[in-house]
Structure formats: C-alpha cells, structure tokens
Amino acid sequence: MKPDLKDTLNLPKTDFPMRASLVEREPKRIAHWEAMGLYSKIQQKNAAGEAFVLHDGPPFTNGDIHVGTAFNKILKDITLRYQSMRGKRTPFVPGWDCHGLPIEHKVSRELEEQKKTLDPVSLRQACKKFSESYIERQGAQFKRLGVMGEWANDYRTMNPAYEADILRGFSKFVETNQVYRSKKPVYWSIPCHTALAEGEVEYQDHTSTALWVKFDAVNPADFGLKDHAAIVIWTTTPWTLPANLAIAIHPEHSYVALAHLGRHYIVGQKLAEDFAKRAQLEGATVVKTWTGRELEGKLLQHPFINRT
C-alpha cells in the first residue's frame, strides 16, 4: 500500500469547503445575521458613539431593483459598516418613494393591456397596491444583497405620518414667507398632463439646420469702421429671433472684422477662417481686432424688426 503523500507534508488544515457555493451559503448567512439580530447588536455596541447618519434617498417602487439602485445601497452599506467598525453609531432607515409619474405610468400601462379604465380614486388605490407589492420585493432583494438596516421600521412616502411631517415642514416655509407663486419653464408631458423631472426626460438625437444672422451696427464709427459693420451670430433656433434683445459675447475672447466687398463682418477670431469659407467670402481680410469687453454696449439694429 502506497503512503498518502499529504500526510508527509506540513500543510495547513481548514474546515472551509473547497467550493464557495455562494448561491446556497449566502442566504443561510443572511438568515443567520437576521436570527442573531446582528444589526441591532452593532447599534447597541456603538450606542454611545458619535452618530454617522446616511439619509436614504428612496427608490421608486415601480419595479425590481436594477444596477443603479443596487449600486446606491451597496455603497451606503459599505460606508456604514466601515464607520461602525470605527465605533460610530450608524442607524440606517431605508425608505421608498411611493408617489410620482413612474408608478402611475406603470399602473396605467397595465390597465391599458387589460383594457380597463378607472376613476381617479380607484387609480390611486391601484397605484398604492402596486407600490406596496414592490416595497416587499425590493426589500427582499436588498436584504439578499446583504444590506443591513432597520427594514422593519422603513419609511414610505405614502404613509399618513410621513405626509403629515411633509406638511409640517412646508408650513414652516409658509410661516417665514419663503413660499411664493411665480412662473418657471418646466418639462411637460402632453399625454400624461403633468410636469416632468429632468431625470424623466429622454433626449433624441436631432440634426438641426443652422444659420448665420447679421446684426448691422447703428453707427459703424462706434466700431472704428467706415460705411458698414455687422456682428454675425450663429443659431439653430431662428424662431427665437423676434424676441431677441441682445447679443452675448465673451469679455475675454477676441473678435475680428472681416472686410469683404465694402462690408465688415465681426465674428469670433477662432471661427473667422471657417466662417469666411462657409459664407464664401473669397478674399476676405482681417482689418480690426477687439476683445469682447471692448464691444460691450454697442448698438445694433434688429435684422427684421425696427428696434435696436
């Protein structure tokens, strides 16, 4: 019988299995943490420590978690674990955003597929039920990632107590005269009849037609030129020209006058060569140079409206 060579070597021994089997072991480890109340024990251990609090910006309850929401929670969990290891008290209260267009849009789409229509009150109730279902799903998914927190004491923006706190906070702004009514341009959804946040807007690539527009000088002598002078602008939104009241220039950039057939076109120095080529100003020459600050306050004539 041949001897087992392993017995002749001074190798370390371990009870750790050779295979990680994470799919099987991770849920057991997480269940063990919950059973022993690991989060509560950490908070009790550091109860007298300095507080380190991360406010959890809540995800929408309109679907399963994705890479972005997972990344958000994992980074917070890493940070809080590190701070707790330094002896700090790190309470973490997770939350969910139960209001907004994403949830209503998801529910409305499901109703369309089922060919159902609901009155406003019933629609809100359907949104609430939909939101509650995904709170449970997302909570389980975050726990599966090993994120620790007060999952039994989460906050939900649709809870009456939370809504009351929002109103109390808003009332303080009202009492100190910090609330006012005004006008502001916002993104608007025509089919949904509601304002959109910037994060809800998706841009589509669009090729715009660009054009140059010249604004003739009221008095060419103000520019140190005879007979004619005009500042040329470039735009892709010509429909805004009727409301145009001024031309924006950079105070520290250089601008030049291109002389061509008795006319002088004032453009940015860096773009002068390209402009002359595109506008087919053959033989155009630079006859004068300014900084933007030197051009401030010069009067120009609107290209098609009788005003300066």
Give the tens place of pLDDT for each residue, 241-274.
999 999 999 999 999 999 999 999 999 999 999 9
* Digit-coded pLDDT (tens) for 106-122: 888 888 888 788 888 99
Q: Give the pLDDT confidence score for residue 45 in this predicted structure.
A: 96
Largest CA distance in the chain: 113
Q: Give the pLDDT confidence score for residue 1 in this predicted structure.
A: 66
Q: Could you tell me if residue 132 is inside a domain?
A: yes
Domain extent for 263: 211-295
Higher pLDDT, 115 or 55: 55
Q: Please give the share of the chain, as a percent, with pLDDT higher than 90.
A: 70
Q: Please report, for the domain that includes residue 289, its CATH number.
A: 3.90.740.10
Q: Could you tell me if residue 304 is inside a domain?
A: no
Q: Please report, for the domain that includes residue 107, its CATH number.
A: 3.40.50.620
199 pLDDT more than 80: no
7 pLDDT more than 80: no
Q: Give the pLDDT confidence score for residue 291 in this predicted structure.
A: 94
Q: Could you tell me if residue 101 is inside a domain?
A: yes
Q: Give the pLDDT confidence score for residue 108 in this predicted structure.
A: 86
- 150 and 221, same domain (yes or no): no
Angstrom distances, CA of residue 260 to CA of 95, 160, 200: 67, 72, 49
The structural domain count of the chain equals 2
306 pLDDT more than 70: yes
- Across the range 198-218, mean pLDDT stands at 86
Q: Give the pLDDT confidence score for residue 171 in this predicted structure.
A: 97
Residue pair 90/84 in contact by the 8 Å Cβ criterion: yes
Q: Could you tell me if residue 172 is inside a domain?
A: no
Q: Give the pLDDT confidence score for residue 201 in this predicted structure.
A: 82
* Digit-coded pLDDT (tens) for 154-174: 999 999 999 999 999 999 999
**Of 119, 143, 158, which closes a domain?**
158
Nearest to 225 by CA among 273, 289, 172, 291: 289
Q: Give the pLDDT confidence score for residue 2 in this predicted structure.
A: 75
- 60 and 149, same domain (yes or no): yes
Q: Give the pLDDT confidence score for residue 135 in this predicted structure.
A: 95
Q: Give the pLDDT confidence score for residue 225 in this predicted structure.
A: 92
pLDDT category, 190, cuts 50, 70, 90? confident
- Across the range 173-189, mean pLDDT stands at 92
- 143 and 219, same domain (yes or no): no
- 253 and 146, same domain (yes or no): no
**Of 116, 136, 158, which closes a domain?**
158
Q: Give the pLDDT confidence score for residue 15 in this predicted structure.
A: 85
Q: Give the pLDDT confidence score for residue 119 in this predicted structure.
A: 87
What value does the mean pLDDT of the chain take? 91
Q: Comparing 27-31, 168-172, 206-210, 292-296, which segment has the lowest mean pLDDT?
A: 206-210
